[in-house]
Structure 1
Amino acid sequence: MRIDPLIKSKHPFIIDGGLSNVLEEQGCDLNHKLWTAHLLEKNPEAIIQAHSDYLKSGAQCITTSSYQASIPGLIAIGYNRDTAEKLIMKSIQLAEVAIKRSLESGLVLFQPLIAASVGPYGAYLADGSEYHGNYGVTDEILRAFHLERIRILDRSNADILACETIPSFQEARVLSDLLNHVSKPVWMSLSCRDEQHLNDGSKIKNIVSIFRNHPKVFAIGVNCTNPKYISGIIKCIKANAGNKKIIVYPNSGEAYNAKSKTWLGISEPRLFVKMAKEWSKLGAHIIGGCCRIGPEHIRNISKVLVKN
């Protein structure tokens, strides 16, 4: 199995950071309902470069640009179903190109993994709903939304399905059922408001219990969450997750304004490294970053956590 290096690693396994911030630094305009997925057709080379930046920084796994690339979302802006499916699959292909180029150039001396991003229903709404998780929809709507994309990504060349930024008990429960039928290993990453609760107010320990014995989920954790809560969340997950790996990739702790699509605050790579060392000691097996965490952060934690 290609994820054996992740499972058997003696050191924390390092994944990448946020995709949007790297693309914005390239000059890409992400003020679009599809966010980073908008570039799958408009500027695929920018996505390849962003992946390459993380690989060069030491990321052992890169996460695809499919977070907001859902079938309903793509159809809603005018793509037909066939094109929508091809664009979702293209997110995997761009990651493959980045890996191929990095290996051929000698910048990377190992075979990185690809995690196919499965974003929450709130990402499709593009109104910041993933930050509260109270969608007000039925299980059937959530199931239909996720099913097609999961099927597409499950038959791709990705190594892992990364269900991420999941903010509600309802959505986690629906995904748990759908994931029983996939062929790839899965990491399940929640979005939390504090050390004990998801964004919708559900208790983290109750969500973790859903996946504790799940046959396809190998790791449970948290992303797009303020780093000040991560240590407490690790303790909570560790107490309830059995033998599952623990994955953490928080944001920078800055405040996001969903209306203006801007961030307020600063991020400090040195502080992030200090925190990452603590997360590792507490039991996190897989560590990376989300929004506003960039290649410099990943480079620094890779040097400290992998080589020491």
Structure 2
Amino acid sequence: MAGQVIVLDGGMGRELKRMGAPFRQPEWSALALMEAPETVVAAHRAFIEAGAEVITTNSYAVVPFHIGEQRFAQDGARLAALSGELARRAADEEFQRSGRAIRVAGSLPPLFGSYRPDLFDAKRAPAMLAVLIEALLPSVDHFLAETQSCIEEALAACMAVAPTSKPIWISFTLHDECGVSGLPALRSGESVAEAVAAVREAGAAAVLFNCSLPEVMGPAVDVARSVLGDTGLPIGVYANAFPEKTGTAAANEGLSDLRDDVGPQTYRDFGRDWRRRGARIIGGCCGIGPDTVCALHAEFKAD
């Protein structure tokens, strides 16, 4: 990954909603797994056809925060396994059709609510992670602990995945209000430099930043690059298309508006800047659809 950009997919939840899949609070994107799994395969196909080289399992909402404690206890493992199987099916179909190998990343989401480092429960996390990891393991090429708001939850994911011997990518979400002029920080307030150093030591195979404004990602890439130096550890970005979220705003507390100034070409320009700064894994998060992934593919894979 030293020079080539790896193109990720985009936001699964909004793509499912756009397609007309079952979609509501609190289940969010997990509802499609329960009621219309074929729509999940179709969403993966749409991102693959747009040029994504890595697709992420639709397991982000397979946690008690979204599906409830009882349902997670009774059906969480099956739903997580299904999310892996559906992603693997889409990847295998593409390989059979074109010979193009698509990697599958197993999503390990925030276990206690997005953007809420204050809710992280270190005692409960290992058991919940174990359910997701065991269920996803047969289907994924690597794990992706995403939208991590604090160092502690990222390290918990690293520790939980370590016995599997599969790589883990760690992706942090950032304070939107930092802006391009301030030092980037996690939503916990911890510094990006401290976070990158911590997961590097814990064995992460890549460090990414996601589910934050595109404008704050460049400075975070700069900090990560300075911390990682010549270690060769890849840096990645997949921003969202939400307006700024400040304070204790929680992802998915309602259906967030999308910015109308972050279209495919504007996002591609952000991606070009992230690459210039050192990012080598680039895709999209909430609100970033196949059209934008197509623009990224055209930008980074033209030659």
TM range (shorter): 0.7 to 0.9
User: What is the RMSD of the two structures over their aligned residues, measured on CA atoms?
Assistant: 2.2
Q: Secondary structure at the match of 1:161?
A: strand
- Residues 78/149 of structure 1: CA separation in 2 closer, same or farther (3 Å cut): closer
In the TM superposition, residue 278 of structure 1 has moved relative to its aligned partner by 1.1
- Residues 23/145 of structure 1: CA separation in 2 closer, same or farther (3 Å cut): same
Query: C-alpha distance in 2, partners of 1:79/1:212?
Result: 31
**2:135 equivalent in structure 1:** 152
**Match status 1:262 vs 2:256:** yes
In the TM superposition, residue 141 of structure 1 has moved relative to its aligned partner by 2.0
Query: C-alpha distance in 2, partners of 1:259/1:185?
Result: 31
**1:70 equivalent in structure 2:** 63
In the TM superposition, residue 219 of structure 1 has moved relative to its aligned partner by 0.3
TM-score (norm 2): 0.88
Query: C-alpha distance in 1, partners of 2:161/2:95?
Result: 32
**1:119 equivalent in structure 2:** 109
**Match status 1:161 vs 2:143:** yes
**1:197 equivalent in structure 2:** 185
Q: Secondary structure at the match of 2:117?
A: coil
**2:294 equivalent in structure 1:** 299
**Quick check: 1:75–1:84 contact (8 Å CA) kept in 2?**
no
Query: C-alpha distance in 1, partners of 2:169/2:258?
Result: 29
In the TM superposition, residue 212 of structure 1 has moved relative to its aligned partner by 1.7
| Aligned pairs (5 A) from 1:178-217 | 178-193=160-175, 194=178, 195-215=183-203, 217=204
Moved over 6 A (4+): none
**Quick check: 1:71–1:148 contact (8 Å CA) kept in 2?**
no
* Percent sequence identity over aligned pairs: 23
In the TM superposition, residue 264 of structure 1 has moved relative to its aligned partner by 4.3
Residues 188-216 of structure 1 deviation map (CA, whole Å, 9 limit, x = unaligned): 0000103521011111111111122333x
Does 225-234 or 173-182 show the bigger shift? 173-182
Amino acid in structure 2 at the alignment position of 1:116: G
**Quick check: 2:143–2:167 contact (8 Å CA) kept in 1?**
yes
Does 84-93 or 137-146 show the bigger shift? 137-146
Query: C-alpha distance in 2, partners of 1:239/1:132?
Result: 27
- Residues 25/141 of structure 1: CA separation in 2 closer, same or farther (3 Å cut): same
Query: C-alpha distance in 2, partners of 1:307/1:244?
Result: 24
In the TM superposition, residue 179 of structure 1 has moved relative to its aligned partner by 3.2
Query: C-alpha distance in 2, partners of 1:279/1:17?
Result: 16
**1:93 equivalent in structure 2:** 85
In the TM superposition, residue 255 of structure 1 has moved relative to its aligned partner by 4.8
In the TM superposition, residue 90 of structure 1 has moved relative to its aligned partner by 0.7
**Quick check: 2:22–2:36 contact (8 Å CA) kept in 1?**
no
Q: List alignment gaps of at least 5 residues for structure 2.
A: 246-250
**2:76 equivalent in structure 1:** 84
Amino acid in structure 2 at the alignment position of 1:282: R
- Residues 307/40 of structure 1: CA separation in 2 closer, same or farther (3 Å cut): same
Residues 80-115 of structure 1 deviation map (CA, whole Å, 9 limit, x = unaligned): 53x4312211101111222233344x4x44110000
**Quick check: 1:191–1:225 contact (8 Å CA) kept in 2?**
yes
TM-score (norm 1): 0.86
Query: C-alpha distance in 2, partners of 1:50/1:214?
Result: 33
**1:126 equivalent in structure 2:** none
In the TM superposition, residue 269 of structure 1 has moved relative to its aligned partner by 0.9
- Residues 179/210 of structure 1: CA separation in 2 closer, same or farther (3 Å cut): farther
Query: C-alpha distance in 2, partners of 1:183/1:290?
Result: 27
Question: What is the aligned counterpart of 1:51 among 44, 47, 52?
Answer: 44
